Chain A
């Protein structure tokens, strides 16, 4: 079984946008309009567009207050059918919530039973009785609080995971709008999750992923309402360039790297003693022996250069069909598609003719 090397880019454009569908009825319009205005007040920035039952024509929410009477006039008393709207939303890939404000059920509701769209639809009804046993409903006549509106229509992202059989991420970089709290890919049990996810996400995220896997990786986004969303990546040019990341071994550390390569004790300038292999901090002076070398990760040495794996999940040994993980294990792909540990990095571990390495701890 041979893993394939993938370089992919995922564009994540998640939106918790809300579409509002109004029953095009003159009787009861005051209630429908009043409720819609409240939705607009409470969910500003989340509203996408307005539809009238029986038509796939979309209206911009910005013009609602001014133009709604004219829009109603255009659609009034048409059969209250949701097929034209739901077919349009399905075609356009709408992933957000839908609010239907009405005084009676749509005539073709039954065409959408057990669909993701209906699962993400909340009916605000002004007719007293339930519309159907299979729909999410709020009794509009009872009055809806702003808290209930927020709770009902805000979609929560539960998790974003990268999925593929035999997946071993090598590198992952996430670029988004929020520089302060940028999500990153982490291991969570046997899953690879992007965390933290914001409770509601309206912005854009680009994920560059380099991975080994038996099938093309994809993103799975689980929400609290509706089906999971899958996003396919597009093949990207080689994104992470090892030659750009390698650094020359500092002159003052050359003798120490040479000692490490041979599995010998490390000379320490602080106390003028040699320290046993595996001791990274001078016990007497409490200084780091390999100064300027990032701790708690694997250091790979290639000739006169070194590469630290702090930003890597794993480094591929292509010829050997193995990876070196940043936490210091060596793994190879088993026949059942799992990356099994076949070794642990020790000082001076030689991987092939060109590469050797060690795990740099901080004490």
Chain B
């Protein structure tokens, strides 16, 4: 679905990825949410079979869920955080063989384009509306709950650098983080203490 400067595609879970005209990749407009991951778990796909009721209940004990319309003062609860690389791999393989984590450079381009994307919000909404995304996606976009990359307004996210996993992003002003220590573009090594807070978004290469 092309609209001049950008293209919106919808993944198998009904969530949008954006490609700006000059990019050779697509990237999720927001990090993967718990709701989005639930759609995968409910897909009946073989790759989802390890995600049982028991697994998800235990997961939610550590990373509580928020109702889709009420992240309130803890919006990070809407998003899938703290899952392992292997678990992310199952999700990405369900979406399709080109789906992967973004690279540091790709996420950097997204951060650089944040204002430009905000300026075309209405056009993005129209494109998303045409594609018949879930009502919940519509709701989040109306609330402008994306792309979640500004200072203290997002998640620390997994990215890859030379095929190695690392962390970038700027977390919400969460009590567990020193807000002055996080810059949206800074890349950090992963640590065990960070894993619980780590989210991710989906990317695909073009061509």
Contacts and interface: CB of A to CB of B under 8 A. Distances in A.
Interface of A: 24-25, 54-56, 77-81, 83-84, 87, 104, 107-108, 110-111, 113
B33 to A, nearest CB: 12
Given A77-B54, A78-B53, A108-B38, 18 more contacts: A55-B44, A56-B42, A77-B52, A79-B52, A79-B57, A81-B38, A81-B42, A83-B35, A83-B39, A87-B134, A87-B135, A107-B57, A108-B35, A110-B65, A110-B67, A110-B70, A111-B67, A111-B68
A84 to B, nearest CB: 5
B23 interface: no
Nearest to B38: A81
Contacts of A80: 53
A87 B68 CA distance: 13
A54 B42 contact: yes
Contacts of A110: 65-67, 70
B41 interface: yes
A276 to B, nearest CB: 71
Interface in B140-168: none
Contacts of B135: 87
A77 B55 CA distance: 10
B52 A78 contact: yes
Interface residues of B, number: 23
A78 B65 contact: no
Interface in B59-77: 60, 65-70
Which of the listed residues B42, B68, B134 has the most CB atoms from chain A within 10 Å of its own CB?
A: B42
30 contacts: A24-B53, A54-B42, A54-B53, A55-B42, A56-B42, A77-B53, A77-B54, A78-B52, A78-B53, A79-B38, A79-B51, A79-B52, A79-B55, A79-B57, A81-B38, A81-B41, A83-B35, A83-B39, A84-B42, A87-B135, A104-B57, A107-B38, A107-B65, A108-B35, A108-B38, A108-B65, A110-B66, A111-B35, A111-B136, A113-B67
B56 interface: yes
Contacts of B69: 111
B53 A25 contact: yes
B42 A107 contact: no
B53 A79 contact: yes
Interface in B74-124: none
Contacts of A84: 39, 42
A107 B56 CA distance: 8
A79 B68 contact: no
Given A107-B56, A108-B65, A111-B68, A78 B41 contact: yes
Contacts of B35: 83, 108, 111
Contact of A79 (B56, B67, B70, B136): B56
Contacts of B39: 83-84
Contacts of B51: 79
Given A107-B60, A110-B67, A111-B67, A83 B53 contact: no
A55 B42 CA distance: 6
B54 A83 contact: no
A199 B6 CA distance: 56
A24 B57 CA distance: 14
A54 B65 contact: no
B57 to A, nearest CB: 7
Nearest to B52: A77
B5 to A, nearest CB: 32
